[in-house]
Structure 1
Amino acid sequence: MFRPLSIFIGTRYTRAKRRNHFISFISMTSMIGLALGVLAMIVVLSVMNGFQQEMSSRILGMVPHAVIDGVKPLDDWKPAADAAMKNPQVTAAVPFTQMDGMLSYKGTMQPIEINGVDPALESKVSIVTQHIVQGRLQDLKAGEFGVVIGEITARRFRLNVGDKITLIVPEISSDPGGITPRLQRLTVVGVFKVGAELDGSMALVNVADAATIQRWQPNQVQGVRLALTDLYAAPHVSAAIAGGLGADYKADDWTHTQGSLFSAMKMEKTMIGLLLLMIVAVAAFNIIATLIMVVNDKGADIAILRTIGATPRQIMTIFMVQGTVIGVVGTVIGGVLGVIAAINVSQLVGWVERVTGQHIFTSDVYFISNLPSHLEGSDVALICSAGFILSFLATIYPAYRAAQIQPAHALRYE
């Protein structure tokens, strides 16, 4: 089969055994370094994707995707819920009340966010029912002032189901101080553990009890909590629903409460990706050293090719092909091994823990007990493309040097 001269010789140089075995060794190390750099980038970014996905499913599974609040407490939440359900992005709409306060137990206090929920409907918009480790969410019965707290809160106060705890909420009054504390005794009826910071900052009460604590009517709620199919459409969807309901309603969504956390995780992934790209760049620069030594070693061959009619452009292409083959092979090997490692990294860490008897991730220290990994094709494509481009750019200078060799000068001492 016909192949252009430059490609034929360039691939032949790559396959052939060179007289200088040191050059062969450098060429192999360049290929291995590039493969390891690509492998490391794929595995690390996949693990970061896994952490981000895990945190997203846990945190955004607990906090509201979007909320349609009334300017005043709503006497009937169902019209707002019916209007929200007409939007194709909304999968569920349930009553919701939220307030901030302090939990007090035996002289110890901590801030808390209290969510008033309907135990019968909460599973439509939250994952909390899947993460109850003590008690039941259904034990939040109206009028009994039960509370479901997070595992961190329970551990901090050493609480169990059946213990009593005091909720302190601020109340605006006409007294000279302006704000007076209002106390409510609560009974712990359940403990949840989602493995996130929410385990120490959130608690759940019955929506009717929340109305009583706020001194509203038992049937009044703050607004409607929505579950959406596309989380990133929450600002637009909630604003459109609130706008359609009129001036008595306002919208809020998860980007206001948790947006900074996910922006920070995205920025962290970008910065770590750039740092790991430096490993690939170093391996690509090794190709420059390899090709420069090959050019010096093949000076006589280059001169002979020039004397029989090869143009500087063909000489340049020969060494660009050789360096590109090294880069492509290294990138492909690293990409394949990286995909395999990213898919099996959780099992690999589990095997290491079983062999060594040491737990790398323990639930007592970390929010998760395993190493999550989520492989994204876009990341693999981007990493491999970067490897290809860097390895190709690394060939330009040595190939240019080869094209500048003068036949008479190179053959003078041959």
Structure 2
Amino acid sequence: MMLSLWISKLARHRVWRLFGTVLGVALAVALVAALAGFLTASTRTMTTRAVASMPIDWQVEPVPGADPAKIRADIAKAAKVAAVRKAFYATTTGLQASTGGTVQTTGPGKVIAFGKDYLRTFPRELRLLSGTLGGPLLAQQTAANLHARPGDTVTINRPGLAPVQVTIAGVVDLPDADAFFQGVGLPKQAAPQAPPDNVVILRPAQWHRVFDPQGAVRPDSTRMQFHVRLDHPALPAQPTAAYTAVTGAAHNLEARVAGQALVANNLGARLDAVRGDGLYATVLFLFLGLPGVALAALLTFAVTASGGDRRRTDQSLLRTRGATRRQILSLAGAEALTVGAGGTLLGLALAALSARLLGLTLAGWLGAALIAAPAGLVLALGAVLWPAWRDLGGRTVSSARRAVGRAEAPLWRRFGLDLILLAGAAIAFWQSASTGYQIVLAPEGVPATAVDYKAFLAPALFWIGSALLLLRLSDLLIGGAPRGVSRLLRPAAGRLSPLVATALSRQSRRLTGGVAMAALALAFATSTAIFNTTYNGQALVDAELTNGADVTVFGTVVNPAGPHLATLAKVPGVTAAVPMMHRFAYVGADLQNIYGIRPGELTKAARLSNAYFRGASAQAILAKLKATPDGVLVSEETVKDFQLNPGDRINLRLMSGADHQYHVVPFHFIGVAREFPTAPKDSFLVANAAYIAKATAIAPAEYVLMKTSGQPARVAGRVRAALQGAPGMQVKDIGSVTHIIGSSLTSVDLSGLTRIELTFAILIAAASAGLMLALGFEDRKRAFAILTAVGAKPGQLAGFLRSEGLLIAAGGIAFGMGYGVLAAWMLVKLLTGVFDPPPETLAIPFGYLGAVVFMVVLSVAGAVRFARRRSRQGTVELLREL
């Protein structure tokens, strides 16, 4: 009975304080649930996309003399299998073709075979560029080396046997060549093997006729593999569980076929990388989410602390009337459970809305709710029950009733804890940034993820130190510089500004709390918005780097896109179309991609970042290349491998259109390219298209890059329609590439998290400023009533109210924006390894920040209006109530 009466009286007389506490708990619960949901959704999406995009899950290679039928049966016993297909490999000592009156010969290569059912199971292993799939096929690079087309005859040289001839039916691309030709059974530390440059694809029957005799003579030159597709729907949704399941099944298979076959667990390797993505999502949660959760919790504590004097007075009255320590704690516990339950329910309702933004299922939302709900109850108990227990200890009734006491500087301020923490943050940041901390590593193309949790020390110390420094500075300005505050308050208080400034200086501790909460909330909103905008902008840059432009037509040497340039430039929505060559060149014995560009035109369609190049801006590098006809830009890896210096002459071997053989073409090394549109991340070359065309007598460009004025996906559809009847070309738009990159190792899709965080940032900022101000007014209703009773005019009271609002709003915006920009800069610097390439500057979302400032000002104005309305209540009634 007593507990229900106490709660009902609080709801009647302390409704705004209860509402503030419930709101703080709700924001904390909702943000925790939303962030937990983000982790769940991100990891589930990563797993689904990784599994779906895996071309071949397992490659099982029987050793010579093993029983293939038994091995196939063991595969079915080790895991839930969707399909098993055979692939055959043979080694050739070289290929030869006679085309255009010349004879072309290649070095060693591979001849592979698989049946029609293979491509139905693994459709991404092969892409037709020209001709048909109805006979022998040539890989794209092999066709370029032999200058062969569908209908030409190619001679396959066999070790120890006479050569055979086949008639080519089509030219294809092998997108998954790295995995398809990998060395099965190699140790993990072994360097990746490059796929062969020369590949012929036959039907199984023809392969057996040609290479079964070779296998009898040279058993080591032929082999067979089982390519396995696992039952993907049966795999767990979380990457760690899926990795454990797939790896365990692979180990089971290895135990069954011990000594009889070798197993390459491609899906397990991919899921292992996705586990790293899960770590990365966790890092984003810690860096971006925890400050918001901490701020929502701090808001809850600040709301309860703002009524500390009234709470202590209530306790002293209860103790005077005989209430025991246990009864008082019971009342506080009931209040805590009430606001905890209310805040948790409201927070879960907000989290349900967030779940829709993230696309969470009911199970995912329930999982997030199970994490957040206990946190809300614990927060409420800590914010309400702990202060009550603390105030009961070591306080007499008379001291508890005392409203005014001697104010001493806090212990942390006397010892300079804020300065110590900021110094520690600077040292930790310098150590992490100077050592080139990267959260995602990909050395030599082999994905590996490492999380250095010591890097969290810098932002953690910065947030705590900056909050304490803010309290120090605010107290110094408000309590120690009334003249400066008076000038600031003149627009709100007019001629009363000196009096108001002096009065407010006596309440500096209360006001600094309001300024600090508003500033920290604005800092969180600012830092989150800037980081997310920078991150999303760099994801777009990464997509542009991968795709080359808004829309790109990828042709081949056999079927170049360049001849269709005039047609593509007229497609509605295309504002610029620029050709770009894509050929191959030998640097020594290393075959690399070489791109021929028109330096003066490339930037009409492609966006080049200064970070793509070393030692100069993109504009300066392109100008230098344009001024040097035989100049070449070389990737960093090639410069390192071949120990090149600027100005060196480089003799590259390129295929000539005259005799279709590789000939030496001299270039001069003029610069280093770290990245380049459509180029691989390791080794590549960039040169003038005119010089390459003249040296090779092959003018058409393989690619066409296009800039669009509308939606790239829609324009890409029009481009495909314009290219109907032109074989061997692929059209890609930047939107589809962004979707792929958003689920890759180096990036996590932040769109859902961004919307949630920025929404909560506005709510927390508005609540911190307006709610703290409104509750401060509620605490001083008695003071306003007394002022009214002694003759203070409504305009004078309004001047006091407006001055407090102006002080909190101005201080919060000034300090918050400054801290937010600094925190965002620190996050971007610490997470530089996430960006590819790193951002040149921070991206400032002025529209969003303007909205945050507007909401803060609006909430402060609402609090002032609320206080003015309350101050107009009858003075006698208000004094009786108090």
The TM-score bracket by the shorter chain reads 0.5 to 0.7
Mark the CA change 1:412 to 1:380 in structure 2 (over 3 Å): closer, same or farther. Answer: closer
CA distance in 1 between counterparts of 2:844 and 2:833 reads: 27
Q: Which has the higher contact order (CA 8 A, sep 6+)?
A: 1
Give the TM-score of the pair, scaled to structure 2. Answer: 0.30
Q: TM-score, normalised by structure 1?
A: 0.56
Between Structure 1 and Structure 2, how many residues are aligned?
A: 348
1:226 matches 2:706: yes
Q: Helix, strand or coil for the counterpart of 1:242?
A: helix
Contact 2:587 2:651 in 1 (8 A): no
Distance 1:119 1:297, change over 3 A: same
Cα distance in 1 for partners of 2:863, 2:666 equals 68
Q: Does residue 1:34 correspond to 2:512, yes or no?
A: no
In the TM superposition, residue 159 of structure 1 has moved relative to its aligned partner by 5.5
1:293 is the counterpart of 2:779: yes
Cα pair distance change 1:54/1:85, threshold 3 Å: same
Closer/same/farther in 2, CA of residues 104 and 245 from structure 1, 3 Å limit: closer
Give unpaired runs (5+ residues) of structure 2.
1-491, 613-617, 655-661
Question: Could you say which residue in structure 2 is the equivalent of 1:253?
Answer: 733
Deviation at 1:96, TM superposition (A): 3.8
What does residue 66 of structure 1 align with? 551
Partner of 1:241: 719
Change (3 A) 1:393 1:227: same
Matched, 1:86 2:544: no
Distance in structure 2 (CA, Å) of the matches to 1:196 and 1:41: 34
- C-alpha contact 1:209 1:218 (8 A) present in aligned 2: no
Report if the CA contact (8 A) 2:785-2:878 is conserved.
no
Preserved CA contact (<8 Å) 2:561 2:704: no
Deviation at 1:44, TM superposition (A): 6.2
Tell whether the 8 Å contact from 1:295 to 1:402 is kept in structure 2 after alignment: yes
User: What is the CA–CA distance in structure 2 between the aligned matches of 1:370 and 1:221, rounded to whole Å?
Assistant: 31
Out of 823, 838, 846, the position equivalent to 1:377 is 846
2:586 is the counterpart of 1:117: no
Query: Structure 1 stretches of 5 or more lacking a match?
Result: 1-9, 168-182, 212-216, 350-359
1:296–1:76 distance in 2 versus 1, CA, 3 Å: closer
Per the TM alignment, residue 54 of structure 1 is displaced from its structure 2 partner at its CA by 6.8
Shift of 1:378: 1.0
Give the superposition deviation at 1:338: 7.1
Letter in 1 for 2:856: G
Report sequence identity in percent. Answer: 12
> What is the Cα deviation at residue 47 of structure 1?
6.4
Q: Distance in 2 between matches of 1:93 and 1:406?
A: 76
- Deviation string 1:364-390 (CA, Å, 9 cap, x unpaired) is 999789972444431232111221344
Partner of 1:200: 681
Query: Which SS does the other structure have where 1:74 is aligned?
Result: coil
Counterpart of 2:876 (choices 401, 404, 407) is 407
Task: Give the whole-Å Cα distance in 1 for the aligned partners of 2:721 and 2:879.
Answer: 80
**Contact residue 303 and residue 410 of structure 1 kept, 8 A:** no
Q: What's the CA shift string for 1:64-97, capped at 9, x where partnerless?
A: 221134699536734x322232357534323346
Aligned CA distance change for structure 1 residues 185 and 223 (closer, same or farther; 3 Å): same
The question of whether the paired residues in 2 share the 8 Å contact of 1:115 and 1:204 is answered with yes
Match of 2:857, as an amino acid? Answer: F
1:94 alignment partner AA: V
Distance 1:234-1:87 versus aligned 2 partners, 3 A rule: same
Quote the RMSD (CA, aligned, Å): 6.0
Alignment CA distance shift 1:204-1:138 (3 Å): farther
1:226-281 Cα deviation digits (max 9, x unpaired)? 134x4x73222232233234354653122222444588365565566457554664
The one-letter amino acid paired with 1:297 is: A
Matches of 2:801 and 2:675, distance apart in 1: 48
SS of the residue corresponding to residue 95 of structure 1 reads strand
Deviations 1:330-380 (A, max 9, x none): 43565567778999x8xxx9xxxxxxxxxx79x999978997244443123
SS of the residue corresponding to residue 241 of structure 1 reads helix
CA distance in 2, matches of 1:55, 1:286: 38
Cα 1:331–1:412 change in 2 (3 A) is: closer
The equivalent position to 1:282 in structure 2, one of 768, 771, 777, is 768
Distance 2:811 2:555 in 1: 58
Amino acid aligned to 1:66? V
Is the radius of gyration larger for structure 1 or structure 2? Answer: 2
**Structure 1 residues 189 and 295: CA distance shift in structure 2, 3 A:** farther
Shift of 1:225: 1.6
- From 860, 869, 877, the counterpart of 1:391: 860
Structure number with higher helix proportion:
2
